[in-house]
Amino acid sequence: MNTNRLSKKLTAALNVQMTNEAYASQIYLSYAAWAESEGCRGIANFLFRHAQEERNHMMKILEYILKRGAKVQVASILEPPENPASINNCFEKVFEHETDNTKAIYKLVKMSLDEEDWASWNFMQWFVKEQIEEETFAMGLLDKMKIAGGEKVSGDALYELDRDLEKTLGEVRSAQDVTTDKP
């Protein structure tokens, strides 16, 4: 008896998104290591933490695919892009990455809608909300950066920004504390 509750198309797309989240985790990990080597420990901590959040997103999709009786396909992950040219550029890349990921999430929402797979549509709403928060946070980083001097940031302003980001860490909701019921 076939107990698979996901279409072939949606299974393939969810598997791709699972790998996208793993790739996002690698990107944040590499930027974090770079920021640490630049002496920006607060920024590095934020990025390390975010790498873990992206991994949690990957796991969330993996668990959903299994829960629906479909097959998980663990694929290879691309190498992360080259290091940012500056802290300002790092935040720009973070924002770009998040908006790209939002597009990928929307495609899955649309696919679930077209298939009238309401379970998957409902599952994807968690990611829609998450992307709003992540984009908002990334925009906030760019705003802070602008105030601190943008590309020209250095010395005291960079030090303050780094400390500020370290302090805000506790306010950033962690993905592992979130469930579909408590988004």
Q: Assess contact for 138 and 90: CB atoms under 8 A.
A: no
Minimum distance from CB of 101 to ligand OFO (Å)?
A: 4
Give the 3-state secondary structure percentages of the chain, helix then strand then coil, rounded to 5.
Answer: 75, 0, 25
DSSP-assigned letters across all residues of 88-152:
HHHHHHHHHHHHHHHHHHHHHHHHHHHHT-HHHHHHHHHHHHHHHHHHHHHHHHHHHHHHHTGGG
Minimum distance from CB of 31 to ligand OFO (Å)?
A: 12
Burial 102-111 (b: 16+ CB within 10 A, else e): bebbeebbeb
Minimum distance from CB of 56 to ligand OFO (Å)?
A: 8
Minimum distance from CB of 47 to ligand OFO (Å)?
A: 12
Binding site for ligand OFO (CB under 6 A): 21, 24, 54, 57, 98, 101, 130, 134
Comparing CB distances to ligand OFO, the nearer of 65 and 153 is 65
Comparing CB distances to ligand OFO, the nearer of 5 and 107 is 107
Q: What is the CA radius of gyration of the chain?
A: 18
Minimum distance from CB of 44 to ligand OFO (Å)?
A: 17
Comparing CB distances to ligand OFO, the nearer of 138 and 153 is 138
Comparing CB distances to ligand OFO, the nearer of 111 and 138 is 138
According to DSSP, residue 40 is labeled -
Minimum distance from CB of 26 to ligand OFO (Å)?
A: 11
User: 181: burial class by Cβ within 10 Å (0-12, 13-18, 19+)?
Assistant: exposed
Comparing CB distances to ligand OFO, the nearer of 19 and 83 is 19
Comparing CB distances to ligand OFO, the nearer of 20 and 88 is 20
